[in-house]
Chains A and B, each alone.
Chain A
Amino acid sequence: CRSRRSPQICQQANLSLLALDSPFSVNEVEALYELFKKLSCSIIDDGLIHKEELQLALFQAPYGENLFLDRVFDLFDEKKNGVIEFEEFIHALSVFHPYAPIEEKIDFAFRLYDLRQTGFIEREEVHQMVAALLMESEMILSDELLTMIIDKTFADADSDKDGKISKEEWKVYVLKHPTLLKNMTLPYLKDVTTAFPSFIFNTEVED
């Protein structure tokens, strides 16, 4: 905002613009700004979310490697500059809105699981993700069982049997198994102003 008006008015204009391009109202964008501020000052108070801050929020600890956290962070960090800005935060959360188009959720999940960004979810990537999940949840599965699970998944999802799941195959597969997209919807986003009641003391906008 380059206006000579007060910073509050500039910020209001920016939030309104963000709301226009999202499923959120201005009030909801303001409420999400409260969440963003909280997350972005948890370790380094610079108004940006660093990976360690997202990790702290999701795992209650800012250290340790987690493949899925890395993938989520990469997709939120659209500019690929190592931090999540508020605009990027709103863009990515828009996909998780209960009323966001299912195609956006399908695409986001595909990009999440396409670890090497080849345009396909490869068998090796699925193996890597299941192994990471087992490590994270301290579960132990025999190699044989793990292979069976992956075989079964590919038998269902990889319809042309080329050993990798294309975007089209992924779409058909998740539409057949919609529970796989369950974590792509955050019911909180439908009523975000209730989730952050503190924001109502700050708002200057009537929805």
Chain B
Amino acid sequence: KTPVTMNAFELISTSQGLNLGSLFEK
């Protein structure tokens, strides 16, 4: 996917701060 076809929220949702799954991974 090129950056121009991305939408802003798709980018934002990749933040590590929003990835709560990592709480369960250790």
Contact = CB atoms under 8 A, between A and B. Distances in A.
Nearest to B4: A148
Contacts of A112: 18
Contacts of A141: 3
A35 B7 CA distance: 34
A188 interface: yes
Interface residues of B, number: 23
B4 to A, nearest CB: 6
Given A35-B24, A145-B3, A149-B11, A67 B17 contact: yes
B4 A149 contact: yes
Contacts of B3: 141, 145, 148-149
A186 interface: yes
A133 B14 contact: yes
B16 A179 contact: no
A48 interface: no
Nearest to B7: A153
Nearest to A187: B21
Most chain A beta-carbon contacts within 10 A, residue among B4, B11, B19, B21: B11
Contact of B12 (A57, A130, A177): A130
Interface string A41-84: 00000000000000001110000001111111000000000000
Interface of B: 3-24, 26
Interface of A: 35, 39, 57-59, 66-72, 93, 96, 112-113, 126, 129-130, 132-134, 136-137, 141, 145, 148-150, 152-153, 156-157, 177, 179-180, 182-183, 186-188, 192, 195
